[in-house]
Amino acid sequence: MNAQSNNSSNNIASLPTSAPPSSKGSVQSWIYDQIFAAILEQRLAPDTKLAEDTLGEIFGVSRTVIRAVLQRLSHDDVVEIRPNRGAVVASLTVDEVRDVFEARRVIENGAIDLACKRRKKSDVANLKALVESEQEAFEGNDRGAWIRLSGEFHLALAGIAGNKALEDTLRALVSRTSLAISQYETPGQSACSQQDHFAIIDAIDAGDMKSAQQEMTRHLAECEAKLDLDEQEKGTDLRTIFSNIRTGNDKSETL
Amino acid sequence: MNAQSNNSSNNIASLPTSAPPSSKGSVQSWIYDQIFAAILEQRLAPDTKLAEDTLGEIFGVSRTVIRAVLQRLSHDDVVEIRPNRGAVVASLTVDEVRDVFEARRVIENGAIDLACKRRKKSDVANLKALVESEQEAFEGNDRGAWIRLSGEFHLALAGIAGNKALEDTLRALVSRTSLAISQYETPGQSACSQQDHFAIIDAIDAGDMKSAQQEMTRHLAECEAKLDLDEQEKGTDLRTIFSNIRTGNDKSETL
DNA sequence: TCCAGTTATATTGTATCCAAAATCAGTATC
DNA sequence: GATACTGATTTTGGATACAATATAACTGGA
């Protein structure tokens, strides 16, 4: 029905991909980055249990620091902490996925508005370079890098808007989008096309705000459409299955 | 120059205003609410040190749970945790305040768009009741309740939009706004007028989306204008003071 | 008097320990 | 065969103890 969390220990055991503790930055941040990346790059599936002890052994630290990391991850909504029952990789309901895309439409169109007004020459060039890297990763089948770079394009766009608050807000939504993709993507379809990204850049470069917003709206709608949201809904939600049953206490209300 | 954190122990000592541990909800959440409210209602000024030991004694728990609470608060951006140097009540720079208002303009206008499409009869009534409570608190000089209710109006509006992601995002910005007000407000001016709120409600009630958005934009701009952002900027930022000095490495770039 | 360097104190970061809760295994019962 | 109960095991929540770091207090010299 939904993603299974079998052989979970194997999944978790393959976590520390890159360098050891690393010189700069705290160990805690390093562990945070490792787990975050593992989730976004879909090496850890939704609903996978993240046991404190196991993670502590893997990273060579005590549960104390793992607890702190898991708490940070839960703030970013990529991990869910259930009181007394531990942490799991977050899984989104269909409605939550729809909300995330809708919220992104609002925020990213706002960001485009600002970006068109504040863009500098170098911004557009940087943006193009980013999407080219993205394309390389895609063609080289480096799925992890591709997902990451795809998100970074949207964040870079918000960066040009020059509003940290908006950018931070979008960062949370972008990572939730990655989660949604890993949970609902249809096997063949690639979720996010570089052509769309180039089209948005061109419109911004030309200073055509309206057109850029239309492209963005279309792009997000397309990404959402590529997900298998209807199927899952039927399978997961009992209410939907029995939606033909009426019980009298129907509190729907319309203006 | 900016708010002093003298007699800090007195400030902190006056924290636990309401009931003991409370039956429902964990102790941690209760402590979180206490500190959050104290900050939003401006009983704790920006830059006030939040020592783990002190807070632990006040609330009768160990540093472990205080640390968790401070971490949550720092994620909400109302507390800043400086590695190895402890936590303080967050203080916003002038630029951050401007960003927050700009981000709110984007998000709340998006929320109005959705709210106009999805509103139910009861929604408008609830909204009105909320602003009436707000007005009572204002007239009764209950500053704490007034600030809280003022924020709740904006959140209730986002609630009508029916998008949790957008609402959560706005919640973070509303609390940062309260921080900004406590830091930059001009003594006489009340920051947020109930008349504006009623005007927005009326426009939504009439289904006039454009007008509601204009009212919201104007309302936010007015709140921002009531803050003393220019003065502080001069006093705080050395770069601004010496902005007439030119050093050669001027990396400003324009399209 | 002011500043630099040193020592002492206080505070944060992390590990470990104990208690409480949930999960799991096995047994009995229908 | 399925469900409900009981006890053992595992896992989380929280307090304490120790190590690392930052802050302060102090001393000596210019």
Instruction: Please give the angle made by the CA atoms of A245, A249 and A250, to the nearest 5 degrees.
Output: 70
In the predicted structure, residue B247 carries a pLDDT above the cut 50? no
User: Which of A26, A121, A169 is closest, CB to CB, to B169?
Assistant: A169
What is the per-residue DSSP string for B74-100?
HHTTSEEEETTTEEEE----HHHHHHH
- CB < 7 Å to strand D — which of 11-70 in chain A? 49-54, 63-64, 67
**In this predicted model, what pLDDT tens digit does every residue of B104-114 receive, in sequence order?**
999 999 999 99
Mean pLDDT value across chain A: 83
3-state SS class at A79: strand
Domain B10-89 has CATH 1.10.1740.10: no
In the predicted structure, residue B103 carries a pLDDT above the cut 50? yes
- The reply to whether B68 Cβ lies less than 7 angstroms from strand D is yes
In the predicted structure, residue B135 carries a pLDDT above the cut 50? yes
What is the per-residue DSSP string for A119-135?
--HHHHHHHHHHHHHHH
- Architecture category of domain B94-230 in CATH: Up-down Bundle (1.20)
A94-234 folds as Four Helix Bundle (Hemerythrin (Met), subunit A) (1.20.120)
Pairs from A191-200 (Cβ < 8 Å, separation ≥ 24): A191/A150, A191/A223, A191/A226, A191/A227, A192/A150, A192/A219, A192/A223, A193/A219, A193/A222, A194/A131, A194/A134, A194/A135, A194/A138, A196/A222, A197/A131, A197/A134, A197/A153, A198/A128, A198/A131, A200/A112, A200/A157
Cross-chain residue pair B164–A26, CB shorter than 8 Å? no
User: Which of B71, B102, B163 is closest, CB to CB, to A68?
Assistant: B71
A59: alpha, beta or left? (left if phi > 0; alpha if psi -120 to 50)? alpha
Pick from A14-28, A55-69, B107-121: least confident = A14-28
In the predicted structure, residue A238 carries a pLDDT above the cut 80? no
Residue B67 burial (CB count, 10 A): 19
3-state SS class at A3: coil
Cross-chain residue pair A103–B166, CB shorter than 8 Å? yes
Rounded to an integer, the average pLDDT of B112-125 is 94
Pick from A28-32, A233-237, B45-49: least confident = A233-237
**Banded pLDDT at A189 (limits 50, 70, 90):** low
**In this predicted model, what pLDDT tens digit does every residue of A71-93 receive, in sequence order?**
999 999 999 999 999 999 999 99
Instruction: Please give the angle made by the CA atoms of A137, A143 and A146, to the nearest 5 degrees.
Output: 45
**In this predicted model, what pLDDT tens digit does every residue of B52-79 receive, in sequence order?**
999 999 999 999 999 999 999 999 999 9
In the predicted structure, residue A248 carries a pLDDT above the cut 60? no
Check residue B42 and give its pLDDT: 81
Residue B13 burial (CB count, 10 A): 12
Check residue A176 and give its pLDDT: 94
3-state SS class at A220: helix
Rounded to an integer, the average pLDDT of A111-130 is 95
Closest CA to B75 of A30, A46, A40, A69: A69
Check residue B143 and give its pLDDT: 84
**Banded pLDDT at A143 (limits 50, 70, 90):** confident
**In this predicted model, what pLDDT tens digit does every residue of B142-190 receive, in sequence order?**
888 888 899 999 999 999 999 999 999 999 999 999 999 888 988 776 6
Q: Which of chain B's residues have a Cβ under 8 Å away from the Cβ of A122? A: 253
* CA atoms within 13 A of residue B155's CA, in its CB half-sphere: 16
Pick from A193-197, A249-253, B15-19, B146-150: least confident = A249-253
- Whether A103 has its CB under 8 Å from any CB of chain B: the answer is yes
Domain boundaries, chain B: 10-89, 94-230
Angstrom CA distances, B76 to A74, B51, B125, B153, B172, stand at: 13, 18, 30, 19, 6
Is the CB of residue B2 less than 8 Å from the CB of residue B183? Answer: yes
Q: Which of chain A's residues have a Cβ under 8 Å away from the Cβ of B66? A: none
Rounded, the Å distance between the CA of A77 and C1' of D22 is 33
Check residue B193 and give its pLDDT: 80
Rounded, the Å distance between the CA of B86 and C1' of D22 is 10
**Banded pLDDT at A144 (limits 50, 70, 90):** confident
In the predicted structure, residue A42 carries a pLDDT above the cut 90? no
3-state SS class at B4: coil
In the predicted structure, residue A40 carries a pLDDT above the cut 80? yes
Check residue B25 and give its pLDDT: 61
- The reply to whether A6 Cβ lies less than 7 angstroms from strand C is no
Check residue A135 and give its pLDDT: 93
User: Which of A26, A106, A176 is closest, CB to CB, to B106?
Assistant: A106
**In this predicted model, what pLDDT tens digit does every residue of B11-63 receive, in sequence order?**
444 455 444 544 446 889 999 999 999 998 888 999 999 999 999 999 999 99
In the predicted structure, residue A16 carries a pLDDT above the cut 80? no
The stretches of A4-93 forming alpha helices (DSSP H) are 8-13, 27-40, 52-59, 63-75
Q: Which of chain A's residues have a Cβ under 8 Å away from the Cβ of B106? A: 106-107, 110-111, 113, 166
A12-89 folds as Arc Repressor Mutant, subunit A (1.10.10)
In the predicted structure, residue A5 carries a pLDDT above the cut 70? no
Check residue A4 and give its pLDDT: 34
Is the CB of residue B47 less than 8 Å from the CB of residue B2? Answer: yes
Check residue A18 and give its pLDDT: 47
Determine the residue type at B24.
Answer: K
Name the DSSP class of A160. Answer: H
Check residue A237 and give its pLDDT: 43
Can you tell me which residue has its alpha carbon closest to the C1' of nucleotide C12? B84
In the predicted structure, residue B229 carries a pLDDT above the cut 80? yes
Check residue A231 and give its pLDDT: 56
Check residue B191 and give its pLDDT: 62
